Amino acid sequence: MFAIEPQVKTLRCCLAALEKTDLTPKQADILAKVDLNIAHLLTHWASMRTAAETDDMLHHSLNNAITPLVGYVSALRKGMAGPLDDTQRTQIHLMSEAIATLRSEIKRLRNIAAT
């Protein structure tokens, strides 16, 4: 069984913590996009869990939903939207780890589908 909820909860907690920090307008814009993509991922996950789709289709759809998150968090981590303080760096690091775990779970799903 695959669950994305723990990682999504981590992402949401990190977003909430980041929103309490002093963000540049670009950082705030990227975080709004991250929030929208998390909502999209959850919607996609819920619809896939109820649909009669193959594991391979589920893998592909979820991987596509996560790709923007990787880019947004990477841009923040690299300081492309402005410098990060220590608190922001910590939260971005936690978000990166949660996304890596999500990708690992999706890869595991793909491996199971291939067997």
Rounded to whole angstroms, the maximal C-alpha distance in the chain is: 48
The whole-angstrom separation of Cα 73 and Cα 64 is 15
Are the C-beta atoms of residues 38 and 69 closer than 8 Å to each other? yes
32, 24, 17: which is closest to 92 by C-alpha?
17
Output the six-digit token pair for 76: 């923040």
**Predicted pLDDT of residue 114:** 65
Confidence class for position 11, pLDDT limits 50, 70, 90: very high
**Predicted pLDDT of residue 40:** 87
pLDDT, tens digit, for every residue of 35-92?
Answer: 999 998 888 777 766 555 556 666 677 888 899 999 999 999 999 999 999 999 999 9
Are the C-beta atoms of residues 82 and 24 closer than 8 Å to each other? yes
Nearest 10 degrees: Cα torsion 92, 97, 100, 101: -140
The whole-angstrom separation of Cα 61 and Cα 113 is 14
Are the C-beta atoms of residues 10 and 98 closer than 8 Å to each other? yes
**Predicted pLDDT of residue 61:** 76
**Predicted pLDDT of residue 5:** 86
Residue 46 or 25, more confident:
25
